[in-house]
Structure 1
Amino acid sequence: MPTRQALSLGRMRAGRLRSVGVSLPVGDRLRAAVAPLLHPTGEHIQDLPGTIGGLPGADPIPYLPVMPEVVVEIEADDRLEFGRYRHRPRALRVRGDLTPDRLGEDPLH
């Protein structure tokens, strides 16, 4: 089984969870904190379009869909391009004090 190296990031927009990027590779400490909180949806590994985690024309990025239950704090430039972060955000820490439903809709359209 491949090592999970990054997080697929999503935000709520128009009532739907939408992919907005893929984090830079996460370190061992964050991986250990996040892993037990992730619950697979039961779907098979899928592909995100390369534009979500890279540049137009980039290869798709395989990911395992999980329930959208975990909030992580990220460091990112605030410019969205085509509905995604222009540069891969750095995942800093799990925000156990927040839930996705408390974040509300993404103000960055």
Structure 2
Amino acid sequence: MTLETINSLLVLYGLIVTVAAILMYAKQWQMASDIRAIRNHFIKANEPISTTTQLAEETDYDKRLDNVKPGDKVKRAYDGKIMTVEAVCPDGICCYAGVIDGKQTYPKSSLEYIVQ
């Protein structure tokens, strides 16, 4: 093989690697931009969070949560995150916790009342 042939092969290889790198970068950029799909993959937004049994939930919670209404603030017990109440459901309280957590329904035993 001559030096010109080797040089041509190296240039061709470099172009192929460069194009592949640009395509992979574009694909990763697109995937990182679609945060909603990634979040929904790891966090099941439709399933309510239940960490206690039904019996414990009925008896062991702050009774002030019975009077909570949409727009009020509550605190998640396990990490102290302050959330806005979206709706009061029979199975718990639906709260908006932020962009990543989204809306989730929490049992009353996993929330704390915040005096406003």
Structure-1-length-normalised TM-score: 0.22
Q: Which has the higher contact order (CA 8 A, sep 6+)?
A: 1
Higher relative helix content: 2
